[in-house]
Amino acid sequence: MPSQEPLLLRHHRPFLAFWFARIFTASGFQMLTVAIGWNLYQLTGNVLDLGLVGLVEFAPRVLFMLHTGHVADRYDRRKVAAICQSLQALIALALAIGSATDHVTREMIFILAFLLGAARSFEMPTTQALLPSIVPSALFPRAVAAAQSAQQSATIVAPALGGLLYAFGSVWVYGPTVVLYVIACTLMLNLPARQTPLNKGKATLDSLLAGIRFIRSRPDILGAISLDLFAVLLGGATALLPVFAKDILLTGPWGLGLLRSAPAVGALMMSLFLARFAVERNVGRVMFTAVGVFGVATIAFGLSTSFWFSLAVLVVLGAADMISMVIRASFVQLETPDEMRGRVSAVNGLFIGASNQLGEFESGLTAHWFGTVPAVVMGGIGTLVVTGTWIKLFPTLANRDRMHVPVEEVKA
């Protein structure tokens, strides 16, 4: 039976539509990120702005966190995701028009980054909550890994393609992203309708906070998502890649695209492996080890002055991060009832967003204070410190054996 599960998953038509939608929306976002980062750095030459744009994109996740989950639980998740992808298409279109008319400004980029963050703050919990209703629960951990392989495949190709196209002008990056988001929107609308009844209740404070209460009641879930928050918050160096590409590794937009793609190469290889061989035992130990490797790889990247060694280290970093992500995403969704998956996913999305977008601001700020290389090295060391601390604070998570523990066993 285990050898047949990946084949069954590949022949599951709704999942295939979801899988391709993830490819196109991830490709659009990655191309936008490369173009916006390089465009902004060309306009201002200020490393702090690279951190600020990450903070601006993260802000909507805080402002709308409670409402995004309720929307995902109350309305048709397919339509919510499609609306979010349509908004991102309009953002790319605005940047394309601005580039064609030479009217892209620092302020315009920050405004559109906020709107992009708002769209993604609603899209992320919606698509996360949508996946469990598409595939059988027995296939879900492999579905998570396979869905991530789609995203990472796009992340490998899209940044490099975006960097290459940017050499001909930024409009050549922004234009194709519009098409990618439109295709993703179409695929999302073709998914089967939700089978469980919609949550028709009003958006009360009690219902909005239900996701937070649920996570607090499950120490393992709280420990896993907070580990990701602080570890990646300190260890993330994505926002500084334009600086490494231009000033340290002495490359251009094409090199920047390769650097952004490198973590996705490692993540893709690992996600393909996990889609075939899911982690079923000693999941806590495996997850903490992966986060530790992530910290070590971050330090190595910060100290590297070789372009090719930096690429190799980023591949390792991406593979380690994928292991942690698949374990965390799988048991969070498996242990959450469908009627509140949107709200729990919204809280989880806030933690993920904080570790990425807020981590970009932290990287830009520390680089502004201490320098680019010291900032990345200190971040990697901080990740290792957090890993050791969380092992002490959440011993049941560190010793967790299986992905999903039935409720009756938790109570026992």
As a whole number of angstroms, the distance between CA 142 and CA 124 comes to 19
Say if residues 350 and 176 touch (Cβ distance below 8 Å).
no
Say what the pLDDT of residue 405 is: 55
Closest Cα partner for 257 from 113, 155, 179, 178? 155
Determine contact, residues 129/345, Cβ cutoff 8 Å.
yes
Q: Which helix (H) or strand (E) covers residue 191, if one does?
A: none
CB 89 within 8 A of CB 127: no
Q: Are 245 and 380 in contact (CB under 8 A)?
A: no
Please tell me the predicted confidence (pLDDT) of residue 8: 63
Separation between Cα atoms, residue 51 and residue 37, nearest integer Å: 10
How far apart (Å, rounded) are the C-alpha atoms in residues 320 and 337?
A: 29
User: Rounded to an integer, what distance in angstroms lies between the CA atom of residue 222 and that of residue 283?
Assistant: 15
Taking 3-state DSSP, the helix, strand and coil percentages for the chain, each rounded to the nearest 5, stand at 85, 0, 15
Question: Would you give the DSSP letter of residue 336?
Answer: S
Task: Compute the half-sphere exposure of residue 380: CA atoms within 13 Å on the CB side of its CA.
Answer: 21
Return the CATH superfamily for domain 203-407: MFS general substrate transporter like domains (1.20.1250.20)
Q: Give the pLDDT of the chain (412 residues) as one tens digit per residue.
A: 344 444 466 667 888 888 889 889 989 998 888 888 888 888 887 777 877 887 788 788 778 877 787 787 788 888 899 999 999 999 999 998 988 888 888 889 999 999 998 998 888 888 888 887 787 766 777 788 888 787 777 777 887 788 788 878 778 888 889 999 999 999 998 887 765 545 555 666 666 677 778 777 778 778 887 887 777 777 667 777 888 888 788 877 778 878 877 887 888 888 888 877 777 778 888 889 998 999 899 899 888 888 889 889 999 998 888 888 888 777 777 777 767 777 777 777 666 666 665 666 667 777 778 787 888 888 888 889 989 999 998 888 888 777 665 544 444 4
Give the angle 38-306-34 at the CA atoms, nearest 5°: 15
Instruction: Identify which of 34, 23, 22, 57 has the alpha carbon closest to the alpha carbon of residue 260.
Output: 34
Identical fold for domains 9-193 and 203-407, yes or no, is: yes
Q: In this structure, what token pair is assigned to residue 302?
A: 């910060």
Distance, CA of 157 to CA of 141 (rounded, Å): 25
Q: Of the candidates 181, 248, 230, which has an alpha carbon nearest to the alpha carbon of residue 28? A: 181
Is 12 within 8 Å of 147 (Cβ atoms)?
no
Q: Is 305 buried (19+), middle (13-18) or exposed (0-12) by CB count in 10 A? A: exposed
Angle CA 80–144–341, to nearest 5:
45
Superfamily name with CATH number, domain 9-193: MFS general substrate transporter like domains (1.20.1250.20)
Tokens (6 digits) for 309: 């060694």
Quote the pLDDT of residue 136: 74
Tokens of 366: 């520390």
C-alpha 54/C-alpha 361 separation (Å) is 6
CA distance 231 to 16: 32
**Domain boundaries defined on the chain:** 9-193, 203-407
361 near 58, Cβ under 8 Å?
yes
Angle between helices 219-235 and 341-353 (to 10 degrees): 30
Query: Rounded CA gap, 21 and 27, in Å?
Result: 10
Phi, psi dihedrals of residue 267, rounded to the nearest 5°:
-65, -40
